[in-house]
Amino acid sequence: MLAAIARRGTLAGAATALHVTPSAVSQQLAQLEHTVGRPLVDRSGRRAVLTAAGRILAARAEAIERELAEAERELTAMSGRAAGLVRVGAFPTVIRFLLIPAMERLARDHPDVTCSITELDGPPALRELRLGGLDLTITERDASLGLESRRQVHVVPLAEDPYRVVVPSDWPPVHSYGDLADRPWICGPPTSTTGQVLERLGRERGFTPRRVHLCVDYPAVLALVAAGHGATIAPDLALRGVASPGLCVTDLPVAGARRLDALVTAGRAALPAVEALLGALRAL
């Protein structure tokens, strides 16, 4: 509880992370302060600031968490069965086509491992991972950028998901990227993965994409394409199971791929339940 307060900066934030009420955190804190015989949290400001004694105990709490994770790993090695809850942050295409099948595989191979999925990605997901609210998050990035490196976080490569160029089915046949040079495009903002891929594609193929719609939700993007509003770049996973007479997946050379990586904090990477989920994801 004290470690959660240190990470979150408020009693309410710690309560959310621990899935308890703020009053329960307050009561536990009061009990701990009574046991220690001195205040552990300065409540005079808007944020809960740890006192010197609080910082000492919070640092010990981090070490205790690591020891507990190691103990869990050793006990599981003795029993040969992984068990526990894995909290995962991911985005819709990964949830639909990787995490749900992975959960089915876990139910068969590791029935004592369960998952709790939160739709979350990007900086918010990384922040929640570092704060301990998630055990694992799955990220996407342009594969041309290579493997990313993050401090105190294990990056586990999962797969490369090839991109395809998709156009409205009533457009004239597309034989080259030159046929699309003056056509409208639908993609995410410049900071998004698809926005970066389209920018790279334009540089490589010698044209400036004319962006008419900025959208990151693939079902919405594909609906815009099917309605004739522009071309787009979409990964294979987003096209899986999509059957629309308004869409044409071109035969243009592959526009690269997106990397799918799992990010796990150092203290959680060795947990048997996390290892079991990673194994299921890699198998898929």
If the chain, 284 residues long, is cut into consecutive pieces of 10 residues, what is the mean pLDDT of each piece?
Answer: 85 84 90 91 85 90 80 73 88 92 94 93 86 89 76 85 94 91 92 88 89 92 95 92 85 86 82 90 90
State the Cα–Cα distance between residues 192 and 252, nearest whole angstrom.
22
Is 37:10 a contact under the CB 8 Å cutoff? no
Q: Is the pTM for the entire model greater than 0.75?
A: no
Whole-angstrom Cα distance, residue 250 to residue 248?
6
pLDDT of residue 80: 67
Q: Looking at this protein, which amino acid is placed at residue 77?
A: A
Tokens of 52: 């010197």
**Residue 149 pLDDT:** 67
Coil, helix or strand at residue 222: helix
Distance (Å, whole) CA 276 – CA 263: 15
Give the model's pLDDT for residue 164.
Answer: 93
Closest CA to 40 of 20, 23, 25, 24: 25
**pLDDT score for 224:** 95
Label residues 111-149 b or e (16+ Cβ within 10 Å = b): eebebebbebbeeebbebbbbbbbbbbbbbbbbeeeeee
Q: What pLDDT is stored for residue 172 in this prediction?
A: 93
